[in-house]
Amino acid sequence: MKKISLIGAGNIGTILAHSISRKNLGNIVLIDKVDGLAEGKCLDLSQSLVIDGIDLSVVGSNDVSRIKDSDAIIITAGIPRKPGMSRDDLIETNFKVMSSIGEAIKHHAPNSFVICVTNPLDAMVWSLKEVSGLKKNMILGMAGILDSARFKFFLSELLQVSVCNIDTLVLGGHGDTMVPLLDYTTISGIPLKEYLKLKNIDQDPIDKIVNRTRNGGGEIVALMKNSSAFYSPALSAIEMLESFINDQKKVLPCSAFLDGEYGV
């Protein structure tokens, strides 16, 4: 059984633990600096697994050394956005958090596969790689899956079709620089531009959807006031984790290090 460590027992970390257990992906270690928080949540989760007949180890701790020999680590620790804040406003505080976590990975789990969810994403992935010494193919950031899901959802609302019939990708940074690939978006195999013509829909609502996608996280923060999104980021990270654990060979949009690829 794989060992999966989750650093951060907030909303995203808790949903990650729940989803991992339901998918039976591995034994779970949940870490949080707040004394008793991870332990309490894991005790509750462990008791819920009995009802479903799932037999997994789910352990909570405030000791980051418990990540030792993890096969995979997902990092959600750090401060979330509040209304009026951009992801970049988090950089100073969360950089310190990532530096500490990177050192822990370096000493206790140097061979683990790491997924970072903490914002500002690209900067946090870079800092983790620099501090931990992980190989570039062993650390990724969760961004494109979530951004693509938001774009797909907004398109499905506009076009009144199932999200299952929409194939699209959003690449680029996790913020204003993200790029929804309109030319590569299809509806049941029909290119988006052709589908819009068939439905007599002009470009304006599509442009609005692109902008809404870029501000997708901020829209949720503004509505919730004291929290940021957690269901969709958690499940996006789960898709990455499941692909790694089960060697599914999926092509997924992620924050990754380039070394000359695509001329970068």
| Annotation says 174 is catalytic | yes
Instruction: Mark 214-237 as b/e (b = at least 16 C-beta within 10 Å).
Output: bebbbebbeeeeeebbbebbbbbb
Compute the distance between CA of residue 133 and CA of residue 131 in angstroms, rounded to an integer: 6
Which of 18, 107, 108, 174 is catalytic? The answer is 174
Residues tagged active-site: 174
